[in-house]
Structure 1
Amino acid sequence: MTTSTDTVRLWSVTKQYGSGAQAVTALEGVTTIFSQGTFTAVMGPSGSGKSTLLHCAAGLDRVDDGKVVIDGTDLSGLNETELTLLRRERVGFVFQAFNLVSVLTAEQNVALPLRLAGRRPERGQLLAALGEVGLGSRGGHRPGELSGGEQQRVAIARALITRPAVLFADEPTGALDTKTSRDVLSLLRDIVDRHGQTVVMVTHDPAAATYADRVLLLADGRIADELRGRASVETIAARMAALEAVAC
């Protein structure tokens, strides 16, 4: 049963790649909930299914078995056009590589999701979105004129401009130095705390996971462990080390 606080829910999700003897099971029977206003870090050894979980939960990949529900909508009942529209309106994405359009200004990059949806963005709305991520005076700058941290902040503003039900972040600090990473993670934490945004972040970094209020640990395509509350770097690193030892 889905409740109003279940932003994303996975029921017994299984995902395979390939077929026959070459088939690889990336996820097997995964059931979990990402509740409204929570920040979840998804971790696990290489090949554990982290990215596949994010792709399935975001509707980027179709599941082979089970069910994914985003903001009350069962994805299995949607055709490709409907799925694209749902992702555009209800899902935000932030990636390690920023994925900004180099010839557009920060303001124009933030406006893109609205323009793709056929909506005319208001300049005040765009400036407010940039102000929310600390870049209110940088709207006229192109990506090449911004630091890596500033580019990721633009990407976050772009992801949030449609007011999505959930923001998925795939290694959002992977290309940033330690201080800049902390700034970006603090921004994500603040967005969760002040606006009740649901954030799901894939990361390999225990320090990044300390900003989340829940850490989901995967191994061999299954949920192997879960930490609730703001866990310490030492606790997260120890759990990760234990999973990696088993995987070796």
Structure 2
Amino acid sequence: MTTPQATDPAPVRLHGVRKVHGTGEHAVTALDTVTLDFPRGTLTAVMGPSGSGKSTLLHCAAGLDLPTAGRVELAGHDLGALDERRRTELRRDRVGFVFQAFNLVESLTAAQNVELPARFARRRLPAAQVSAALAAVGLADRADHRPSRLSGGQQQRVALARALAARPAVLFADEPTGALDTAAGRHVLRLLRTLVDDHGQTTVMVTHDPAAAAVADTVVLLKDGRLADRITLDPGRPAANAATVAARTARLETA
């Protein structure tokens, strides 16, 4: 693994990002002038009360939506300067996504599910790259298994392998453990941490769970669309981290 240097440009940068849904008296400000970097080779957890802007932040940072004002830079590109085709290509080539729902195709094997985004893009993903992605999540021996033969945790790991197969500049995970039991969720979180530590994979994870956020390097707390707090963690102390995050989020919600 190559350790990121302090001078490395952040793969994702938000500058004064504002997002408003609706107009006039029905306008709702989902993000209110947020400036934030997600440094290379780190895991950042994004937390906050319901309606705080977590999902909107992820959507704008990943290029799934454009801000009303401000600028988002993704993998060195100003998203506002790109047309929809170029933004789509950038997401396809430089971004990985993992969601709470596994979104696997039941009729396809694990390996075929990993290949699927490339096939949609009319490209061929080398077999070695597919195998490497499955091996990275501990499923090298499940390549030929369909989702019905995999546990929920294993299915989420296939979804993670699918996101990693294109070797993205940044991985966005939206509640990746939300549909898993405790043991499977811990396994997925350990994998995310390992990908950061061993492979320098920049990762941004939206979560409501302090225990999930405890594996992060930094926790960003949102409230009413604003950046309300930032917590720097020691990933080697998950229990203490979880307690710290729980206390700070509780304080934020009652403020």
Q: CA deviation at 1:114?
A: 2.0
Please report the RMSD computed on the Cα atoms of aligned residues, expressed in angstroms. 1.0
- Kindly indicate whether residue 144 of structure 2 is the aligned counterpart of residue 135 of structure 1: no
Q: Which residue of 1 aligns with 2:253?
A: 244
User: How far apart, in 2, do the equivalents of 1:131 and 1:162 lie?
Assistant: 14
Q: Which residue of 2 aligns with 1:168?
A: 172
Gap regions ≥5 residues in structure 1: none
Q: Which residue of 1 aligns with 2:116?
A: 112
Displacement over 6 Å in runs of 4+: none
TM-score by length of 2: 0.93
User: How far apart, in 1, do the equivalents of 2:76 and 2:254 lie?
Assistant: 38
Q: CA deviation at 1:163?
A: 0.6
Mapping of residues 7-86 of structure 1, within 5 Å? 7-86=11-90
User: How far apart, in 2, do the equivalents of 1:113 and 1:195 lie?
Assistant: 22
Q: CA deviation at 1:45?
A: 0.5
One of 203, 206, 210 as aligned partner of 2:210: 206
Report the secondary structure of 1:224's partner residue: strand
User: How far apart, in 2, do the equivalents of 1:202 and 1:49 lie?
Assistant: 10
One of 98, 105, 108 as aligned partner of 1:94: 98
User: How far apart, in 2, do the equivalents of 1:244 and 1:102 lie?
Assistant: 40
Q: Which residue of 1 aligns with 2:237?
A: none
User: How far apart, in 2, do the equivalents of 1:4 and 1:234 lie?
Assistant: 31
Confirm or deny: 8 A CA contact 2:233 2:241 kept in the other structure. Answer: no
TM-score by length of 1: 0.96
Q: CA deviation at 1:141?
A: 0.9
One of 227, 231, 243 as aligned partner of 1:234: 243
1:123-147 C-alpha deviation (Å, 9 max, x unpaired):
2221221111100011111112111
Q: Which residue of 2 aligns with 1:182?
A: 186
Q: Which residue of 2 aligns with 1:5?
A: 9
One of 109, 124, 131 as aligned partner of 2:128: 124
1:203-244 C-alpha deviation (Å, 9 max, x unpaired):
000000010000000000000000012261111001110111
Report the secondary structure of 2:34's partner residue: strand
Q: CA deviation at 1:192?
A: 0.4
Q: CA deviation at 1:153?
A: 0.4
Report the secondary structure of 1:30's partner residue: strand
Q: CA deviation at 1:185?
A: 0.2
Q: CA deviation at 1:118?
A: 2.6
Gap regions ≥5 residues in structure 2: 1-6, 235-239
Report the secondary structure of 2:141's partner residue: coil
Confirm or deny: 8 A CA contact 1:173 1:184 kept in the other structure. Answer: yes
User: How far apart, in 2, do the equivalents of 1:175 and 1:5 lie?
Assistant: 34
1:126-182 C-alpha deviation (Å, 9 max, x unpaired):
122111110001111111211110000000100011111000000000001111111
User: How far apart, in 2, do the equivalents of 1:84 and 1:122 lie?
Assistant: 22
- Identical residues among aligned pairs (%): 64
